[in-house]
Structure 1
Amino acid sequence: MTTVALDLLGGDGAPGVVADAAATLLSNTANTGLRLVLVGPVDVARDQLVARGVDLSRVTLLPATSGVSMDASPLEVVRQDAQREVAETTVVVAARAVRDGLADAWVSVGHTGASVASAVLTLGRITGMQRPALAVVVPALASPVVLLDVGATTTGSVGALEQFAIAGHAFAVAVGVSSPRIGLLTIGSESGKGDELRVETDAHLATSLPARGLNYVGPVEGFDVTRGNRAQVIVTDGFTGNIVLKSIEGAAAWAAHQIGVAYGDSGPARGVIRHAAAGDFAGGLLLGVEGVTVVGHGAGTAAQVIGCVELARRAVEQNLIGNISTAMAELS
């Protein structure tokens, strides 16, 4: 049995979209091993679930009074709430559910910064990890690609990028990529390309990763993220990674529109995008904290929320946090 805490108030369509996702998950006979903890106002949660015919015996309702608005200062809101004996915000209550053993993982499609801050402050970092990284699975052409960091933090260092590579490798294995190759995102495939951070990191990874039995292929370029044939784990700092991720999303929307203009129907192309967005690409898994945390897109659909829950479930079943902890202990 895997228990996932779900932020009822996260996302633009909350609470309805989240409740739709919960109802669909629990009505699926393949999910008999899944239990949900719905975090939010209890009366709202109960009304939403009853209206959808959900069996409440498989759901725990955990009270929280508010979400975190998109215009709030996430770190300040979360820091203040984390100091309270009884937390009020859904992201802190959900993270505490994992910390206290009430859930195995937690998911929010609300404020990314608040979710990251709550995970770090509530669960703590894995020993040895300098900083967390948000990792997404990009549905590339040849093979899925784990891209990290896509925005947990905005700066990088040689040591942090090395840790991202190791954690990303563990994540790729957890989502079914066998013997993933690791690349460093920069502006050319030759060694020595890029800024000082990229050059120094490449030189370090070229010796440190093979010494750990990991396959480092060297520098990779932006188009390798969606090709998937050169590397299945691509490492960068969070500032660059977030730009790459948003560029992929924008390019996909542009392509779907242009197909519609050219052929009179963008439906099939948009269907492909929706299908990809509802799979492992639905959310980012926060690597480097002591608990499975998945952060989804605020404008996500019920299908995307379901994808986030399934991603969290897989991470729990594959003991991803334990595997990363072991790897970090060996690195130190």
Structure 2
Amino acid sequence: MVTIAVDAMGGDLGPRVAFRACRALMKNDPDVEVILPLEESLHAAARKILGKYQPRTRLVSCGEHVRMDDTPRKALKERSDSSMSVCLALHASGEADGVLSIGNTGALLVLARKHLGALHGVDRPALATQLPTKGRPLLMMDLGANICMTSEQLLQLGFLAAAWYRAGGNEQPRVALLNIGTEPGKGTDTIKAAGALFDDQLGSLYAGFREGDRLFDGDLDAVICDGYSGNITLKTTEGLIEWLLDMMGSELRSSLALRWFYPLWKATMRRIDRQVSPARHGGAMLLGIAGNVAKTHGKSDERSFRYALEYMVRQLRTRDYQSMEAEFLKITG
């Protein structure tokens, strides 16, 4: 049985989105249970929505939640009884195998470090997720946890990416650095210095610099960048995909001739949606924390939240932070 502590508070669409997503998850997977820390006023709504899945649902009382406009400092000092903090404490105590939060990213980072700590040798834990490509999925990190990073901290992310793959059975992942060009002299001083460190310490795992227009070629396993560049790249990609899917659907629906082939192109659109829709890739892991913590978009709807929960369950069943830490120590030792 996999137990997930879910921080349902702080999202744009309210906690009921998370309740319905948890219900869908438990309907499809009988080996999952959920712990929901909630303010007392929400317990009745949670019980009503979760219905027959209450035997696998545990509601825990908390006094408040982290606001989206809370600073990390405020969350650390004033939100010790928040739903986010309680979730992380449940994971630290072993009552939950992992945590999924829809809340404030900065707060999640500092509270995770408070309750769980960071892996030895990691200065800045980072957000990471796998993106669909022409070939194999691409692990991209950082996605917004750290706006500025040194070359040494970027190297730590390279080690983390390699360790994450090795913990899952891939002994030779190809890791690249995001840059504005592939030549050694391109990029900021930080990126050029990071490239030299990667080449020296990652050896055959390092695949060099990679430009943005070649991210989805499918020949890489991971790409490393600071959180500023990663967040912009991710959100630009998501926005472009959403626009392309909408445009394709609109063009197909507006054509009288194509309406005759509705069953065929509808099935094709569904296949494309399953492969590239941002809603299906909204869960991001917080790698470098001594625990299993993931984040989903604050704007997540029921569908996006459910996919993030399913992603979290898959991660817990295929690798955990202990195995990743062991691989990290082998690489850096």
Task: Give the TM-score range, shorter chain.
Answer: 0.7 to 0.9
- Per-residue CA deviation, residues 108-129 of structure 1 (Å, 9 max, x unaligned), is 1122222222212221111110
**8 Å contact 1:140–1:228 — kept in the other structure?**
yes
TM-score scaled by length of structure 2: 0.87
Residue 49 of structure 2 is aligned to residue 77 of structure 1: no
- The one-letter amino acid paired with 2:315 is A
Q: How far did 1:100 drift?
A: 1.3
Rounded to whole Å, the distance in 2 between the matches of 1:260 and 1:304 is: 20
- Identity between Structure 1 and Structure 2 (%): 27
Q: Which ranges in structure 2 are unaligned for 5 or more consecutive residues?
A: 255-264
Rounded to whole Å, the distance in 1 between the matches of 2:42 and 2:161 is: 38
Q: How far did 1:298 drift?
A: 1.0
**8 Å contact 1:42–1:61 — kept in the other structure?**
no
2:130 alignment partner, one of 109, 134, 137:
137
Match of 1:217 in 2: 207
Rounded to whole Å, the distance in 1 between the matches of 2:214 and 2:132 is: 12
Rounded to whole Å, the distance in 1 between the matches of 2:4 and 2:143 is: 23
TM-score scaled by length of structure 1: 0.87
Residue 238 of structure 2 is aligned to residue 237 of structure 1: no
Rounded to whole Å, the distance in 2 between the matches of 1:283 and 1:173 is: 21
Greater shift, 43-52 or 261-270, is seen at 261-270
Assess, with a 3 A threshold, how the Cα gap between structure 1 residues 177 and 227 changes in structure 2: closer, same or farther.
farther
Q: Which ranges in structure 1 are unaligned for 5 or more consecutive residues?
A: none
Matched position secondary structure for 1:223:
helix
Greater shift, 156-165 or 168-177, is seen at 168-177
Matched position secondary structure for 1:259:
helix
Within-5 A mapping of 1:16-55: 16-28=16-28, 31-42=29-40, 44-55=42-53
Match of 1:249 in 2: 238
Name which one, 1 or 2, has greater alpha-carbon Rg.
2
- Per-residue CA deviation, residues 41-70 of structure 1 (Å, 9 max, x unaligned), is 245234323344232221111212322222
- Per-residue CA deviation, residues 185-227 of structure 1 (Å, 9 max, x unaligned), is 10112222211111111111112112xxx52111111022223
- Per-residue CA deviation, residues 277-313 of structure 1 (Å, 9 max, x unaligned), is 343x221100011111100001112222222222222
Assess, with a 3 A threshold, how the Cα gap between structure 1 residues 164 and 17 changes in structure 2: closer, same or farther.
same
Assess, with a 3 A threshold, how the Cα gap between structure 1 residues 204 and 76 changes in structure 2: closer, same or farther.
closer
Assess, with a 3 A threshold, how the Cα gap between structure 1 residues 181 and 110 changes in structure 2: closer, same or farther.
same
Rounded to whole Å, the distance in 2 between the matches of 1:154 and 1:109 is: 20
Within-5 A mapping of 1:1-332: 1-28=1-28, 31-42=29-40, 44-73=42-71, 75-81=72-78, 87-172=80-165, 179-210=172-203, 215-229=205-219, 231-260=220-249, 262-264=251-253, 272-273=272-273, 276-279=277-280, 281-330=281-330, 331-332=332-333
Matched position secondary structure for 2:177:
strand
Rounded to whole Å, the distance in 1 between the matches of 2:283 and 2:153 is: 22
- The one-letter amino acid paired with 2:42 is V
Rounded to whole Å, the distance in 1 between the matches of 2:169 and 2:23 is: 27
Count of matched residue positions in the alignment of Structure 1 and Structure 2: 320
Matched position secondary structure for 1:154:
coil
Q: How far did 1:240 drift?
A: 0.9
**8 Å contact 1:27–1:54 — kept in the other structure?**
no
Q: How far did 1:16 drift?
A: 1.0
Assess, with a 3 A threshold, how the Cα gap between structure 1 residues 247 and 301 changes in structure 2: closer, same or farther.
same
